Amino acid sequence: MRILVTGAAGFIGSALLCRLLSDVDSGDVTGLDLGDAPPAASGRRLSWIRGGLDDRAVLEQLGAAPFDLAFHLASVPGSRAEAEPVLGRRVNLDASLDLFQLLAQSRNRPRVVYASSVAVYGALSDAPVGVQTEARPAITYGAHKRMVEIALADHTRRGDLSGIALRLPGIVARPRPVSGFGSAFMSELLHALAAGERYVCPVSPAATAWWLSARATVDNLLLAGRIDCCGTLQLPALRLSIAEVVAGLARLYGPERSALVTFDPDKAIEAVFGRYPMLDVRAELALGFSHDGSPVELIRNALRA
C-alpha cells in the first residue's frame, strides 16, 4: 500500500501523517509540502517531497511511483486566495486537477480523499445544511473547492479514480498564532481559556458554529480512505454556541475560566461565522463518519498535543 499526503506539514496533514506512520498496517507514506516534514513524523516508511503541486518537477517525481491512496489536503487558505485569486486558482484548482490527472494515469484506480470545505455553500440560511444543499460559493476559495469536487466526481465516473470529497468545517484547535482563517477565533478561544488567559471574543455568546477537532477529522479522513463510497460528503460536526463551548471549557479547566471571556461582537465575523444552522449528515453518520461527541470531548481532542 502506497499512500500520498499533500499538505502533509499542515495542521491536518501533519496529524494525519503521524497517525498513518503510527499504524503498522498502513504502508509506505509519501508526504508533500512546501515546508519540511513535521518533527513528529519520521521513520523509514516516510518519504518526503518538498515542493508544490504547481511545480512540474514535483508532479514528475510523484508520477514515477503509483499510489493506491492519496489524501489531497494542500491548499492556499481562503483569505489569501481571495486576495490573490490567480495564486488561488493555480494551487487550489489547477494543481488539484493536475494531481488527479496524474493519479488517473496510473491505471490502478487509486482512492483519492479530497479535503473540500463548507466554503462551497456560501451564505447559509436557517435551513439545515448538507450535501443536498445547493452550493453557491461566496469566496473564490469555495468556488475552486466546488470545481475540484466536480472534477473528482467526473474522474470517478470515468473509472480512473475512486474519489471521495469531504466538506470540512473550520477545524480546531489550530496552533497559535492562528491567522489566514476567518474562523481563527474558534481556535483562539480554546487556547486562551485553556491557558487561563483573558479573551475578547469577536462573536456573541449565542453565535453558533460547527466544531470539529483535528483528531476527529483524521479519524474521518482515514475512514474515507477505507470505505467504498464515492462522491461528496459533508463531515459531521458539533453545532455549538460560544456559550456552550465556554461552559465546556469551564467544566474541564474550572468554573472561574468563564469569567476570562468578554464579548465584543464584530458584525462581519458574526454574520459569516456566527449563524451556522443545523447540519444534515444522516447519510454520513450511517457510513460511520462522526464528530467529537460532546463539547468536553471536542475540547479534549482539540487541545491534545
Only one of the segments 28-36, 141-149, 210-218, 235-243 lies at the binding site for its own copies (rule: CB under 8 A); that segment is 141-149
By CB under 8 A, tell whether 271 contacts its own copies.
no
Would you state the cell numbers that stand for residue 274, as one nine-digit string? 456566527
Residue 111 to residue 228: CA distance in whole angstroms: 9
By CB under 8 A, tell whether 146 contacts its own copies.
yes
Query: What b/e sequence results for 100-118 when a residue is b if at least 16 CB atoms lie within 10 Å of its CB, and e otherwise?
Result: bebbbebeebbbbbbbbbb
Would you state the cell numbers that stand for residue 16, as one nine-digit string? 494525519
Sheet holding 46-50, edge to edge: 46-50, 28-33, 2-6, 69-72, 111-117, 162-168, 231-234
**Judged by CB under 8 A, how many residues of this single chain contact its own copies?**
20
Question: If you search the block for the grid coordinates 483519492, which residue do you land on?
Answer: 112
Question: Which listed residue (32, 38, 49, 89) binds its own copies by CB under 8 A?
Answer: 89
CB of 69 to its own copies, least distance (A): 22
By CB under 8 A, tell whether 151 contacts its own copies.
yes
Residue 270 to residue 18: CA distance in whole angstroms: 35
By CB under 8 A, tell whether 294 contacts its own copies.
no
By CB under 8 A, tell whether 107 contacts its own copies.
no
Instruction: List the catalytic residue out of 141, 199, 253, 276.
Output: 141
By CB under 8 A, tell whether 140 contacts its own copies.
yes
CB of 94 to its own copies, least distance (A): 7
By CB under 8 A, tell whether 137 contacts its own copies.
yes
Whose Cβ is closer to its own copies: residue 42's or residue 105's? 105
By CB under 8 A, tell whether 268 contacts its own copies.
no
Would you state the cell numbers that stand for residue 109, as one nine-digit string? 484506480
Known catalytic residue at 141: yes
Query: Quick one: which of 183, 226, 169 has its CA closest to 19?
Result: 226
Residue 221 to residue 162: CA distance in whole angstroms: 14
Whose Cβ is closer to its own copies: residue 151's or residue 272's? 151
Only one of the segments 11-19, 47-55, 86-94, 219-227 lies at the binding site for its own copies (rule: CB under 8 A); that segment is 86-94
By CB under 8 A, tell whether 150 contacts its own copies.
yes
Query: What b/e sequence results for 13-28 when a residue is b if at least 16 CB atoms lie within 10 Å of its CB, and e otherwise?
Result: bbbbbbbbbeeeebeb
The full DSSP string for 168-228 is E--EE-PPSSP-S-TTHHHHHHHHHHHTT--EEESS-TT-EEEEEEHHHHHHHHHHHHHS-
CB of 147 to its own copies, least distance (A): 4
Only one of the segments 49-57, 150-158, 206-214, 242-250 lies at the binding site for its own copies (rule: CB under 8 A); that segment is 150-158
Only one of the segments 49-57, 143-151, 249-257, 260-268 lies at the binding site for its own copies (rule: CB under 8 A); that segment is 143-151
By CB under 8 A, tell whether 134 contacts its own copies.
yes
Say if residues 19 and 218 touch (Cβ distance below 8 Å).
yes
Residues in the chain: 305
CB of 144 to its own copies, least distance (A): 8
Whose Cβ is closer to its own copies: residue 44's or residue 107's? 107
Residues with catalytic function = 141
**Residue ranges that bind its own copies, judged by CB under 8 A:** 85-86, 89, 93-94, 97, 101, 134, 137-138, 140, 143, 146-147, 150-151, 153-154, 157-158
